[in-house]
Structure 1
Amino acid sequence: MGTGSGRLRDRRAAALARYVVAATLVRSADGGAVVAIVLLALDCGLPGWLAGVLGASITAPHLLGPFIARRLDTADDGRKLIALSAVLHGVLLGAAALLLPVTWPLWPALLLFASGLFGPMLTGGISSRLPAIAGPAQRSQRRAQSWDVASYGLAGTLGPAAVAWIAAAADPLTATLLLASAAVLGAGGILALPRQEPPVRGVDVPGPVRTLRLMVRSGPLRRTLLLTVTVAFSVAALPISAAAATLDTPPAAGALVAAYGIGNLLGSAALMIRPLRRDADRLMSSLALLVAVMLTLTLLTPGFSASLAAFGLTGTANALFFAATLAGRSEYAPQAARGQVFIWVGALKIAAGSAGTAAAGAVVTFGSWVPLGLASAATVGAAAISVLDRSRSGDRPPR
């Protein structure tokens, strides 16, 4: 019995390692694509506004991801669908990069838009596979979710950093093509993951609009969505405030943002050692409040060294919060719409981050502290609303 359970643990550990490698590869391609395309567009002599439009062509379609996600909940083997999405994302990104220097920008923009449609499959779609890897025990699932947070952090750091380094050492086109190759390579790793149980025949799988309504009606999922979107909106203010506060010394802004990324990775490492244990619904409220406290700390901390520490602590708090939201999505999503729930939350999170960046840019003219002050207030408000909502509703997540 002991030997059998040990072999099962070993198989799950090996599958989790394959998951982290594959997820990091494809998410690096997704996360670094905007930087790669903007650098390539500028290298081709295009104006900055057009480079920005091309970059937005990749991120904007993420909002449409939920409308193609139902197939993930109805597929006999979701690995094949996610792997195909990774391949198409990489091929379309590479084709757009090859066309950009030689053709009218409209055609690369259309290819980038099509590439971005598959982005949600590489974020929330892959995360929805974790329960099949980690097994039914909550502690195992929480530890696997900690590794998933690390995958997001590594991809968000390595993708743009690799693009910048390769673009400087060779050229932006080479960087973009290598990034596209990472997505195709990661697809092979996805196919090597354990197969999830196929959907039960005859079970009604809701469509995207019905899934969103289901999420709004379910108290735990409603609060998961509210807090995820608000915190994503809020932390998006950090780079803007960092840049405004260090206007005379631009490298300092980069150091502050890097400190946030390092803090995020350290938070992920801490979770691997000691996974979250409490109820995910309550944890999200508490950890959102912790993020708000850290945002306030970055606002009030004087001196560059102290600011580095504050940004790092904010990154750590956000890693803990993100792990709680992954647990919420996994534990409260109805089985028939698990993939769609993951992708809906992920898509709206990306949209909220973009809106947060735009809002911070609009108000930073009133002072570098203003975006962080508003972000902290918004996060406190969302945490308070979640607590009140939980105390007033006795609803259970649908199954």
Structure 2
Amino acid sequence: MGGRGAPLPRYVAAASLARLADGGGIIALILLVAAQDGPTPAAAARGGMLAACLTAPHLLGPLVARRVDVVADARQPIAAACILYALCFATAVLTFGLVPFPVSAALVALTGTCGPLLTGGLSSRLPGLVASGQRAQRRAQGWDVATYGLGGTVGPAAVAAVAASATPATAALCLAGAAAAAAGAVLMLPAAPAIPGSDPGQVPTARATIRLMLASPDLRRTLIFTMSVACSVASLPIAAVGTAARLGLEPAAAAALAAAYGLGNLLGSGAVMVFPLRGEPRRLMPSFAALIALGLAATAASPLLGLNIAAYSATGILNASFFAATLAARSENAPGQARGQVFIWVAALKITSGSIGTLLAGLLASMDPRIPLLAGAAAIAVLSVAAARQDRAGTAAPTASGHRPVTSRPGN
């Protein structure tokens, strides 16, 4: 298959639909449970369990990622994942309350296993769809960042709007429809160029891929910074609630802070589309991470709501740029035979780190909401300084293949 027209707009359409479905799933499930059980502690617990069932299976992503690197046409498993996501999510929604809760949880968990292919798996196909020059690749990565921002901000907002005007079940079914539409859009993409030597016997296993990533200085740095930043910024929604209380404001102020971060993320995504990042990703990542650390510290120190909103928005902008740098690092340093697995490994560990960050923030915020922000800022700052010293000392090694690839097309 494959339609006419420029591949990038078709990719953006497919990725936006897939990530709207993935990004809005949690709020849809929580609203679905609340609509049936009411605002009770038991409903909150059940909603949280379903949300965990949707996100936790992302950890299984590396176990299914090899399929993307083995098949001759990676569009097929990604489209199949979109269809399975739509079917399982729609079934879970339509049968919720009619079947035992463990059955609903199992359906949601099966939905969650498709998530890695809708995120990292789809991103791993982008380098082969655009020109091999650095500027073209970076601009495409900026568009990819925008689709993630769209899914993470517009997705939940759209679910809330549809749930308010209709029902939570209707909103959830709209997400299933978006995932199904994404499958068709994926199949309309051109097939990526074949990767030389990519027969199943030469594609590494999941365990071999993580060893390869840890052995490559550039991929190892990508993994470390991705996980540390994800863990740190995950504290922002938790800290927002505590910040509102600390400043003596209404709880709605916490929502304003979270919205400011989401808006900043979208603005940052637009910025990297218009002005693609320049320079080596291995140096861009520590630089943006250090600025994110300053943003986190500013959110902890700001005594006024307006300053907090500005700090949250700035941190969102910086995080979008940082994410674009990590996509560039994965694209330019992942070996062709394990490209999909590298993307999905990093995405899975990023989500895991974010979950850990949310948990730690909840525990630390009971003492002072500023503690998780300052702790995250300090951790990122230490890593950024260490990376800068390593670069200045000239000890940074090249990639595992012995050179730094400039282009990002599969096979390089």
Q: TM-score range by the shorter chain?
A: over 0.9
**SS of the residue aligned with 2:203?**
coil
Question: Is the Cα contact below 8 Å between 1:219 and 1:389 reproduced in 2?
Answer: no
Partner of 2:366: 365
Partner of 1:307: 308
Partner of 2:320: 319
**Counterpart-to-counterpart distance in 2, 1:56 and 1:234:** 19
**SS of the residue aligned with 1:392?**
coil
Query: What is the TM-score with the length of structure 2 in the denominator?
Result: 0.91
**SS of the residue aligned with 1:249?**
coil
**SS of the residue aligned with 1:38?**
helix
Structure 1 position 71 matched with structure 2 position 67: yes
Question: Is the Cα contact below 8 Å between 1:62 and 1:119 reproduced in 2?
Answer: yes
What aligned pairs does 1:117-136 form with structure 2 within 5 A after superposition?
Answer: 117-136=113-132
**Counterpart-to-counterpart distance in 2, 1:279 and 1:259:** 29
Question: Is the Cα contact below 8 Å between 1:12 and 1:133 reproduced in 2?
Answer: no
Partner of 2:239: 241
Q: Say if 1:172 and 1:338 are closer, same or farther in 2 by CA, change over 3 A.
A: same
Cα deviation, residue 347, structure 1? 0.6
CA RMSD of aligned residues (A): 1.6
Partner of 1:6: none
Partner of 1:348: 349
Unpaired runs of 5+ residues, structure 2, are: 402-411
Cα deviation, residue 14, structure 1? 2.7
Partner of 1:251: 252
Q: Which amino acid aligns with 1:56?
A: A
Q: Deviations over 1:112-156 (max 9, x none)?
A: 111101101010111111111222111100000001111100111
Equivalent position to 1:90, from 80, 86, 109: 86
Question: Is the Cα contact below 8 Å between 1:145 and 1:323 reproduced in 2?
Answer: yes
Unpaired runs of 5+ residues, structure 1, are: 1-10
What aligned pairs does 1:1-399 form with structure 2 within 5 A after superposition?
Answer: 14-45=6-37, 47-201=43-197, 203=199, 204-247=202-245, 248-388=249-389, 391-398=394-401
Cα deviation, residue 12, structure 1? 10
Cα deviation, residue 201, structure 1? 4.5
Q: Deviations over 1:10-39 (max 9, x none)?
A: x99832111112111111111111111111
Cα deviation, residue 387, structure 1? 3.6
Partner of 1:7: none
Cα deviation, residue 70, structure 1? 0.2
**Counterpart-to-counterpart distance in 2, 1:70 and 1:161:** 34
Number of aligned residue pairs: 389
**SS of the residue aligned with 2:366?**
helix
Question: Is the Cα contact below 8 Å between 1:70 and 1:337 reproduced in 2?
Answer: yes
Q: Which amino acid aligns with 2:77?
A: L
Query: What is the TM-score with the length of structure 1 in the denominator?
Result: 0.94
Q: Say if 1:335 and 1:389 are closer, same or farther in 2 by CA, change over 3 A.
A: farther
Question: Is the Cα contact below 8 Å between 2:69 and 2:198 reproduced in 1?
Answer: no
Q: Say if 1:202 and 1:68 are closer, same or farther in 2 by CA, change over 3 A.
A: closer
Cα deviation, residue 81, structure 1? 1.1
**SS of the residue aligned with 2:6?**
helix
**SS of the residue aligned with 1:69?**
helix
Q: Which amino acid aligns with 2:218?
A: P
Question: Is the Cα contact below 8 Å between 1:132 and 1:194 reproduced in 2?
Answer: no
Cα deviation, residue 396, structure 1? 2.0
**SS of the residue aligned with 1:76?**
coil
Q: Which amino acid aligns with 1:25?
A: L
**Counterpart-to-counterpart distance in 2, 1:163 and 1:272:** 26
Q: Say if 1:202 and 1:179 are closer, same or farther in 2 by CA, change over 3 A.
A: closer
